[in-house]
Structure 1
């Protein structure tokens, strides 16, 4: 037995080309599995840092915790760090609106608060300010200066600035500085919204179980417990509905990845082994038993796997390194501590285990069939070429040229091969379409900067006139400037357009005889210029955005979803052509809905019935005023401080100046963190899929070498041979495309409808993606058959027919 088993390495060496094809298939599958799992593993590390930066490094928050509760929690063995956070609400510092609070120094870095100058406030009369708020055009204060603070309960006090801490993007963009008092000073303040006790647990702790235990032991009610669900979602411990939906999508997609890897290996390995059934039969002729043949095939698979795994792991890890390098060097401040060459044990282990299991399964059936081949059939070669005894002309040859009919027949006659080849292509397409759901989610749910996102915003209740607008537009460094007129109007329309959600909110609607209703709330009216109308097209659900047509036909754009507080709500289901009646100083004005916009990039300061967008000319006609309430500016260079100083010096104290650059940069970082890996997933899947198709076709054609030689021997020309093989390949690919696109589209719809409904992810039929898939698949199939056909035609006919 040992003599025959020892043949495996020599046998593989004698059939290097076929062995290499099988090894490439295994390596590609290992690369796919290792790459996807490794990228996911590293992505979670990056995303965890991003979430901590945006939401803080805590897992549990206890509202109004007592000293006893804090002591018990602090001394638990599974708690790493904890601290108090007091929200003292809104206030004023030197008559400028601010947010007031206090935070234990030991927990400050957990909440991304770092002292960059001075010291942390300790005394009752000490405070700490954001760096941007200390600048000349804001508070104009420094370490040791005294400031006057007014609290929400009308108490006032004088405090000393003891420290300056890093800027917080959201606070800076809102123009409201964050002021931290000492914890002892905050304890003397009666105003405040909430007192929280924040807890960070150690790694590998089952947080949900620990939280339940804390609530039970200390008898804490559920309404006093809050979780940092953003952080729990990243570490896989959130029970929030939205997070569970994402976990489910991830599980479904990665199951498809595993199945695809298994099919890729099984398909090519099966073809490779089955092509050598005659050689295994010859071994039977010289005395090998069935058991020995089975073990020989399995040992061959083991050797191929051992050679392929290192290549697959290196390729998979390389993809991960590329993604890590992009993020590490793009945002060194946040991700600088992440090692560039992150080794994912999960990814490597997954690739190795799946490779061994799959090759083992893939070798079972071919090994059994090889063992069952009789010595007589092996010597006669009857297992290779079977000539049909039917004299009847086939149906396909009646309507198609012989070589085309033969190509289709070659594909469909071997149903198992057709199934495996088509499944391999279909699974690649399903993976591609499935992972594209994450791209749709990313664009719909992440607030990345859009073309209309400003760097600098200015608002004023008194209004901003055209002279200021013109002055700002002439400042060197200003790229685009655009303004909005804002107002609240009484608007009504057909009552049937009001949604049930809105009717429940306002608790009753007063109807008129003409089908209209008495508006229970004012509607928000907003003016857009040409730039803003053009930018809004990406969110347009129906109709068109034409300034000229809107002016001519008294047209408005209805907004489908509006923010009420922090909740996006559909208040009215207006349709194109609907009439809207608005009260103006000159009487009621009839307007026509000419477009439906999905949502607005900003929200109203007060609850509204709905929102309408119109042109500047119509706004002036309706509201009777022409001053802007907001002017937005985009800079040529985001870091041009001279331009920012020039803009600041152009406005007076009645204007609120908002610098949104840091917030925009942070939003872009969030988007990029996810985009690099999501696009990385799709790129890996696409590349591996193409390589798999090329490798599979190479293996399939190589396995038909003698058959193709016989076709040439009986008179088939080189052109006919090309057509036959191309048609066979096209049959595999088109069958796989049809199945893959159908199931992929269904998968997209199911994932979005069932698991991403909370994120309001829009879904459209992926026509462009499907067309791209068909074009690329056809091109890859055509490319994949060129090399093997060239090799076959370069050999003599007798050499091909007699090849083993």
Structure 2
């Protein structure tokens, strides 16, 4: 019957609800692909803006370059801009410590030294200062003022302020201003170190050009530095950690594509395979096998045309929400970035995935539908049956008959069980793998912690308890906490020293009892009760109970110290180790009761290791009975901060140094937000679509069994029993998906974390929540379709197509 396709609109209309469910599934899969890829594209744009602000706009740097190297590199045709930054050592300005430096004016903006007022210093007697330092004195310094500077070598000169540059968070927090002298003046001083920054033109193969420069000028690798953040975003890096992240990202996004494919195939296959009776009727009225195949494929095409635009729009909308959060959170940094961000590749991938998967998903059902015998289709022999073996088995002794039938229905159709379970399992696997990145610190991103101060005051002479108490009473001070610190002679078993430390320090002498003769002092720091609680986040072994430390002569060892500006492990202590601390009059034994991975503070001197103790123990260990604080950290309320800081200055007077970390904290928060919004966005999308996938799959499964459920009602099954049967079937599908998903997800999660060199713990909470949320979602998702079926007459349901 050549004109049988005229029946297609009525056919589709009769299955409007099933078609709508299939459209929803396809749209969700497309939204998943488009959303993830578009968010990655937007993340790259936001992250590039953040990297340019944090690290500067350059590609490589040459350490301590010679004039010949500067001339050769700067004259290359592929170099867009280059400039030299010199560290000229420490000095004093009007009696205060400062860092002397110089920078080529043409490259100042590239590393975020932006002029606020005036001009860049050009003559030998001109300098440029930071805004915060200019405003520090009363009255504030201004352009044209004369400042006395003590240069290295105790050379005293007078300089005129030619310009002011915007604050740098790091120098403001350190309370040490960076003083920029002119390049002419820098040529008369011997630099401690210098760096030649190079920015290449667009389209340059940086890895290749770097190799040419090293070979031509005979520059060793140790003298080359890289702007790793920018090079990573440009996909021009050889950094192993970055390449590992690329590899992990590739696996995750391949997983996204596979999940999208399975979601579409699963729903479409269920929708088609449960309608063999309709195909049998079409065969009865003259449709050929080829025509049945075409009908199924055209149905798939019709679904694709309607579902894909919805999915693309949803994916872009998700990206829009994340972009809007960042854009309005930090208008200064991201204000110029457009709200609508989308990935052309992501949209293309979503469209291709949608069309291609529906086409592939329609092939097998179309082939099977075409081979349906009209007689068997009309007799309903393809419908679900109850296995007699199951019915008479052990399950009947445990559960009611309707529950056994539900379990039997799910197990009987192995292909449907595999497809539904796979769809749920893949969603779970994807969630567990992406959740590895939920903690941005895992990616090397530092955000302000609960213990991060807004301002700190320090003094080498110590700060008395009376000032501490007065600070605590100030109106807009949120929290005050202090630390005492000192340097002590500590010794312990020489075997606890790491190989790296022994190699650096050379032969270590030992005493007859196996204790080492320490070449360096150790740093000991006191924590109060609140700081002890905060530090437990970094606790690797043992404990940090304040009372136990006091009563048992306990101390806490720190694995990693800041050594030459970088964290390094000098000693590998164990809980229970003995540490002997010497004073002028005695040597006392202390027991290591806890191990911390690191502390967020850096000693002024290079030390062997760091120990944490209580404030009570500190006086006994060091013999410092004054109990003066070396550092007091202060967290402020949001209101009237400038007024509060002025009160702190007045209270502390000139005996202390005030460190204002607010700008540095804001910069860290901005960097954290950039990546956190998208990481949480990824996990949020996956969680939301996974839940929708379960709902849609269960809806499709119940709706496709309309006739079967009508028959069960006709033979005497009550509505309550019908619900139990459907619920048992849904639980089997969901539980099997959860079991396989969690098993594979845990395995992949473990491998991902070990591949990226991070500690892994079995995600007990994740697994429990996955099972609870998945099964509850499946249970609630069958309520609506069952209600619709129960509301219809039995004869109407059985007689429906």
For the superposition of Structure 1 and Structure 2, which TM-score range results when normalised by the shorter chain? over 0.9
Displacement of 1:465: 1.5
Verify the 8 A CA contact 2:497 2:571 in the aligned structure 1.
yes
Comparing 434-443 with 703-712, greater Cα deviation is found at 434-443
Q: Deviations over 1:264-308 (max 9, x none)?
A: 111101101112222223222222222222222112111111101
Structure 1 Cα separation of the partners of residues 278 and 75 of structure 2 = 72
Q: Within 5 A, what are the aligned runs for 1:178-257?
A: 178-202=178-202, 204-215=203-214, 221-257=220-256
User: Residue 136 of structure 2: SS of its match in structure 1?
Assistant: coil
> 1:334 matched to which residue of 2?
333
Structure 1 Cα separation of the partners of residues 390 and 608 of structure 2 = 79
Comparing 726-735 with 180-189, greater Cα deviation is found at 180-189
Verify the 8 A CA contact 1:116 1:164 in the aligned structure 2.
yes
User: Residue 510 of structure 1: SS of its match in structure 2?
Assistant: coil
1:284–1:82 CA distance, 2 compared to 1 (3 A)? farther
1:390–1:413 CA distance, 2 compared to 1 (3 A)? closer
Comparing 646-655 with 680-689, greater Cα deviation is found at 646-655
Verify the 8 A CA contact 2:440 2:672 in the aligned structure 1.
no
Structure 2 unaligned spans of 5+ = none
> 1:768 matched to which residue of 2?
765
> 1:357 matched to which residue of 2?
356
Comparing 742-751 with 438-447, greater Cα deviation is found at 438-447
Structure 2 Cα separation of the partners of residues 214 and 147 of structure 1 = 42
> 2:51 matched to which residue of 1?
51
> 1:646 matched to which residue of 2?
647
Structure 1 Cα separation of the partners of residues 286 and 218 of structure 2 = 78
Verify the 8 A CA contact 2:390 2:408 in the aligned structure 1.
no
Structure 2 Cα separation of the partners of residues 730 and 271 of structure 1 = 18
Verify the 8 A CA contact 1:442 1:675 in the aligned structure 2.
no
Q: Within 5 A, what are the aligned runs for 1:253-402?
A: 253-386=252-385, 393-402=392-401
Name the TM-score, length of structure 1 as normaliser: 0.94
User: Residue 652 of structure 2: SS of its match in structure 1?
Assistant: coil
Displacement of 1:390: 6.7
Comparing 279-288 with 127-136, greater Cα deviation is found at 279-288
Name the TM-score, length of structure 2 as normaliser: 0.95
Aligned-residue Cα RMSD (Å) equals: 2.4
Comparing 741-750 with 535-544, greater Cα deviation is found at 535-544
Displacement of 1:676: 0.7
> 2:98 matched to which residue of 1?
98
Structure 2 Cα separation of the partners of residues 8 and 505 of structure 1 = 81
Comparing 20-29 with 156-165, greater Cα deviation is found at 156-165
Displacement of 1:602: 0.9
> 1:507 matched to which residue of 2?
506
1:156–1:139 CA distance, 2 compared to 1 (3 A)? farther
> 1:800 matched to which residue of 2?
797
> 1:38 matched to which residue of 2?
38
1:392–1:444 CA distance, 2 compared to 1 (3 A)? closer
Indicate yes or no: 2:635 matched with 1:613: no
Verify the 8 A CA contact 1:70 1:197 in the aligned structure 2.
no
Q: Deviations over 1:9-49 (max 9, x none)?
A: 55323311010000000001111111111111101111111
> 2:775 matched to which residue of 1?
778
Structure 2 Cα separation of the partners of residues 675 and 785 of structure 1 = 35
Comparing 689-698 with 465-474, greater Cα deviation is found at 465-474
Verify the 8 A CA contact 1:153 1:190 in the aligned structure 2.
no
Verify the 8 A CA contact 2:555 2:593 in the aligned structure 1.
yes
Displacement of 1:422: 1.1
Displacement of 1:493: 3.2
Structure 2 Cα separation of the partners of residues 191 and 104 of structure 1 = 14
Displacement of 1:705: 1.4
Structure 2 Cα separation of the partners of residues 388 and 493 of structure 1 = 72
Q: Deviations over 1:234-259 (max 9, x none)?
A: 33322201111211121111111111
Indicate yes or no: 2:692 matched with 1:691: yes
Structure 2 Cα separation of the partners of residues 390 and 648 of structure 1 = 85
Q: Deviations over 1:383-415 (max 9, x none)?
A: 224565779823433443222222222112222
Displacement of 1:516: 3.4
Structure 1 Cα separation of the partners of residues 728 and 407 of structure 2 = 6
Displacement of 1:6: 5.7
Structure 2 Cα separation of the partners of residues 425 and 85 of structure 1 = 56
Verify the 8 A CA contact 1:555 1:591 in the aligned structure 2.
yes
1:210–1:374 CA distance, 2 compared to 1 (3 A)? farther
Displacement of 1:495: 4.0
Comparing 589-598 with 736-745, greater Cα deviation is found at 589-598
> 2:784 matched to which residue of 1?
787
Structure 2 Cα separation of the partners of residues 392 and 129 of structure 1 = 87
1:350–1:618 CA distance, 2 compared to 1 (3 A)? same
Structure 1 Cα separation of the partners of residues 208 and 70 of structure 2 = 18
User: Residue 164 of structure 2: SS of its match in structure 1?
Assistant: strand
Structure 1 Cα separation of the partners of residues 390 and 678 of structure 2 = 58
Verify the 8 A CA contact 2:61 2:195 in the aligned structure 1.
no
Indicate yes or no: 2:447 matched with 1:458: no
Displacement of 1:162: 0.7
> 2:714 matched to which residue of 1?
713
Displacement of 1:606: 2.7
Verify the 8 A CA contact 2:386 2:409 in the aligned structure 1.
no
Structure 1 Cα separation of the partners of residues 201 and 10 of structure 2 = 57
Q: Within 5 A, what are the aligned runs for 1:493-642?
A: 493-625=492-624, 626-637=627-638, 640-642=641-643
Displacement of 1:156: 4.3
Q: Deviations over 1:129-176 (max 9, x none)?
A: 110111234995220112233333554433211110100111111111
1:793–1:205 CA distance, 2 compared to 1 (3 A)? farther
Q: Deviations over 1:165-208 (max 9, x none)?
A: 10011111111112222333323333341141422432x44332
User: Residue 782 of structure 2: SS of its match in structure 1?
Assistant: helix
Displacement of 1:750: 0.8
Q: Within 5 A, what are the aligned runs for 1:55-204?
A: 55-63=55-63, 78-137=78-137, 140-202=140-202, 204=203
> 2:417 matched to which residue of 1?
418
Verify the 8 A CA contact 1:27 1:311 in the aligned structure 2.
yes
Verify the 8 A CA contact 1:152 1:191 in the aligned structure 2.
no
Verify the 8 A CA contact 1:485 1:526 in the aligned structure 2.
yes
In the comparison of the two structures, how many residue pairs are matched? 799
User: Residue 439 of structure 2: SS of its match in structure 1?
Assistant: helix
Structure 1 unaligned spans of 5+ = none
Q: Deviations over 1:567-606 (max 9, x none)?
A: 3233333333333222234422222222222210112223
1:412–1:79 CA distance, 2 compared to 1 (3 A)? farther
User: Residue 728 of structure 1: SS of its match in structure 2?
Assistant: helix
